[in-house]
Structure formats: C-alpha cells, structure tokens
Amino acid sequence: MYLLDLYILAGLSPSLAGLAIAIAVVWDAVSDPIMGIVSDNTPSKNVAGKRIPYLVVGALVLGFSIGFLFSPPKFADQTGLFVNLLIWYLVTSTALTLFGVPYLAIVNDIGPEASDRTALFSSKLVFGSIGLLIGIGIPAYFASSVSVESISDTLGARRSSGFTIGIIAAAGCLATAVLIGRTLRIQKKGPSRSSRNSSRTIGAILKGIKSPHFLLLALGFIAIAIGRSFNSSLALPYYKSTLSFSESQIGLILLALTIAIICAAPYGALSAIAYPLFAKEVLWPIIIVAILGGILVASIVFLDGLFSDFIESENTLNDTDLSGSYYGIWRMLSKVARAMGIAASGFLLSKIGYQEASIDQSVSVERAVAWAFGPGVAVFFLIGAIPIVCVLKYKRHSNEV
C-alpha cells in the first residue's frame, strides 16, 4: 500500500515504480516453489529441524531489508530511485520467501484434519491482522507526531516507520520460529510427517497441477490476488488525492478495516458501488465501508482452507510430503498476480496523467482513480469468484456421493 506511493512521492515515475516492484515480485514468485522443494527435501529427523532454520534466517534478513526498502535516497535521479527500489525489494522478497513458505508448510505438518487446518488458518488471519494493526499504526503514529505537509516530511516519516517496522517484524518472526519449533518438539509432531518419501516431489507436483480442482482454485486465486494488489496500490492515491484525507485520517481508515478483519472470522460489490460516490474530506462514510469491507474480506480464510485440503489429499495419495512445494507454488501464483496488479496500477496512473512528486492532481485524474479503485477492483473479484464456486459445487457433489 505504501511502497508505490512512497517512490512516486520521491520522484520516480509511476510506470517505473510499478515495473521495479513487479520485477522483484516475479523473482519472489519464482523463488517460492524452489524454497518449497528445498524445505521438503531438507534432511532431518523431524519437522522442527526441517523448517525452522529457514524461518530464523528469513527473520534476521527482514530486520534490516524493510528499513532500507522504505528509505529512497535523497536527491536521486530516476535511475537511482529505480535501482534502490528494485534491489531492496529483491532482498526483502527473498527474506519473506525463506520465512513464508516453510511457515505455511507447517500448517499441513501439524494439522492432520481439515478442521484443524481451518482453525489454524483462522488463527493465522486473526493474529496476522493484529500484526497488520501494528504495522498500520506505526506509520499513523509517525504521521501524527511530525508535520507531513511537505513531501520531504512525508518521506522522513516513512523512513522512520520502515526501520521501526523492520525491527518489530524481525523480532516477531524470530519469536514465532522459536515457539513453533518448541511446540513441534514437545508434541513430537515431526517424525510421522518427515518419514514420508520426498524423492518423487517434482513428478507428483506436476501430476497434481493438472487436476481440474487445482487449476480452478489457482485461476480464482490469481484473479482475486490481482484485484487485492490493484486495490492496495491505488489506496493512497485515492485517499490522498481524490478524497484529500490527511495521513492521520488514512491511518484511522486502515485501522478500522483491520479491526473489522480481526473481529470477523462480497467485498467487491460494496467497493464498486461506494468508492466512486464519496465526497472529498468526508470521513465517516469511508469508515463504515472500511468496517463492512473488513468483515467481508475475512472470508479469504475459506480459500486457504480449500487449498490446504487439496494438499493433504495429494500427500495421502502419493505418500509423499509435498506441503512445502505446493505452498511454494501457491505463493508463486499469488506473487505473480500481485506483480501484475502493482504493475497495472502503476501503468494506469501514468496513463491517466498522475503526476509524480506531487500531492495535488487534476479533477479528471482524481475521478479516474476513484473508478479504478471501486468498479475496477470489483471486476477481478467477480472473475475470481466463478471458478471457486465451481470447486465448491464439485466438493459438495463428491461429499454427497
């Protein structure tokens, strides 16, 4: 949400900013299935030794990479800003891969039943949203504690936020790795899963990818991920330019959205209707839509549960531990879609005449951002819903049989 807007404010053209982020996210996507296969095939007597070392390394790298990512160099030209964004996003993405893929694979390592995995994903959504709450609150705090009326002040607040969030993220991820490893050793969950054969990983995965169930889930997930990325990339240009909200007001909106996700356990139609109609500097309607949207968007946990069921069925069918590999592919698809969404938003902003290094935009640009932020996002959600509904109908029919 903050990254594209940050580098545009620093002076990088929207299309180049979108391109740099897209390149880094594509690398992040390609590295995910590689990391999954590596973690599946890491020799170890238990799951703790198989996954946890990667969590620790990823956590340590995250600590400094996020800070540098949100610190565009002062007085740099287009090339300097582009290179800084690209390099540090590559480093951050690699760290996220080292942590994220083994972390997701542990869900299937310790969740033998579908209800267990759904409960784990629900807990992940809730506690992840608490982390998101902290991540949103820190930029809001720095924005309220200093004057952010000028672009240089905004860049300074973002830089301070980045290093603070990096330290907290590293500490949280390290604590997570330690607690998961300790729990796995105490409960002795590892040996039963690690004893599964992993030598046929590639062939089994290719076979699983061809299944209609997987292809439909992947198609729906990609469309939804593009829509979410497109939405988040346009959020700050919409709130700041189209609605003329301050940094503290934007922080309040994001906090309301996140709290609603935590409390919740067809966001697209709501946003498509509402966002183009909002008036400038009127805060309360946005707060209401953010709360309703947070409740509705929490349904993403059901999609995670569907995919974890598919992974478990493939593990059982092949008597092979494929969790890390499949989650690597899942994250790869998510990140390719995210790259497409970010790149599309950057090129869209350039196409409609959005001016870099400027907060004020023309009326026509403001309205174009509003329509893209509302109905434009809803189109992706609708496309994604269709194949997912087909999968749900298939599962219901199979259960009845």
Q: Using one digit for the tens of pLDDT, what is the confidence trace for 97-134?
A: 999 888 888 877 776 666 677 677 777 777 877 787 78
Q: Using one digit for the tens of pLDDT, what is the confidence trace for 206-264?
A: 666 666 777 787 788 888 888 878 878 888 788 877 788 877 778 777 777 766 665 65
Comparing C-alpha atoms, which of 279, 3, 60 is closest to residue 178?
Answer: 60
Mean pLDDT score across all residues of the chain: 76
Burial environment of residue 77 by CB neighbours within 10 A (0 to 12, 13 to 18, 19 or more)? exposed
As a whole number of Å, the CA-based R_g of the chain is 21
Q: Which residue has the tokens 């994903």?
A: 121
Who's near 287: CB < 8 A, 6+ residues apart? Answer: 252, 253, 256
Who's near 154: CB < 8 A, 6+ residues apart? Answer: 9, 143, 148, 247
Residue type for 44, please?
S
Question: Distance between CA atoms of 351 and 15, rounded to whole angstroms?
Answer: 9
CATH of the domain at 46: 1.20.1250.20
pLDDT at 235: 81
Helix locations, 70-200, DSSP H:
78-110, 114-145, 151-187, 190-194
Could you tell me the residue range of the domain that residue 225 belongs to?
Answer: 2-400
Please answer whether residues 31 and 25 qualify as being in contact, where contact means their C-beta atoms are separated by less than 8 angstroms.
no
Helix locations, 41-113, DSSP H:
47-69, 78-110
C-alpha distances out from residue 131 to 137, 144, 261, 302, Å:
10, 20, 12, 20
Question: Distance between CA atoms of 5 and 68, rounded to whole angstroms?
Answer: 16
Who's near 77: CB < 8 A, 6+ residues apart? Answer: none
Average pLDDT over residues 157-173: 90
3-class DSSP state for residue 197? strand
Comparing C-alpha atoms, which of 335, 100, 157 is closest to residue 229?
Answer: 335
Angle at CA 300, nearest 5°, toward 66 and 250?
50
Measured in whole angstroms, the distance separating CA 304 from the mean position of its chain's CA atoms is 13
- According to DSSP, residue 278 is labeled P
Total tally of structural domains belonging to the chain: 1
Q: Using one digit for the tens of pLDDT, what is the confidence trace for 265-285?
A: 444 445 555 666 666 666 667
Q: Using one digit for the tens of pLDDT, what is the confidence trace for 291-304?
A: 666 556 656 656 66
Q: Using one digit for the tens of pLDDT, what is the confidence trace for 297-340?
A: 656 656 666 677 777 776 677 666 666 667 777 777 877 787 78
pLDDT at 120: 76
Please answer whether residues 59 and 170 qualify as being in contact, where contact means their C-beta atoms are separated by less than 8 angstroms.
yes
Q: Which residue has the tokens 């959205």?
A: 257
Query: Element (H or E) spanning 284, and its range?
Result: helix 284-297
Angle at CA 83, nearest 5°, toward 78 and 89?
125
3 or 66, higher pLDDT: 66
3-class DSSP state for residue 198? coil
Please answer whether residues 339 and 26 qualify as being in contact, where contact means their C-beta atoms are separated by less than 8 angstroms.
yes
Q: Which residue has the tokens 């061809």?
A: 210
Question: Distance between CA atoms of 33 and 334, rounded to whole angstroms?
Answer: 12
162 or 133, higher pLDDT: 162
Please answer whether residues 209 and 329 qualify as being in contact, where contact means their C-beta atoms are separated by less than 8 angstroms.
yes
pLDDT at 331: 75
Residue 279: CA count within 13 A, CB half-sphere: 2
* Confidence at 169, pLDDT banded by 50, 70, 90: very high
* Confidence at 66, pLDDT banded by 50, 70, 90: very high
- According to DSSP, residue 277 is labeled G
Tokens matching residue 152:
């240089």
3-class DSSP state for residue 320? strand
pLDDT at 192: 45
Please answer whether residues 329 and 201 qualify as being in contact, where contact means their C-beta atoms are separated by less than 8 angstroms.
no
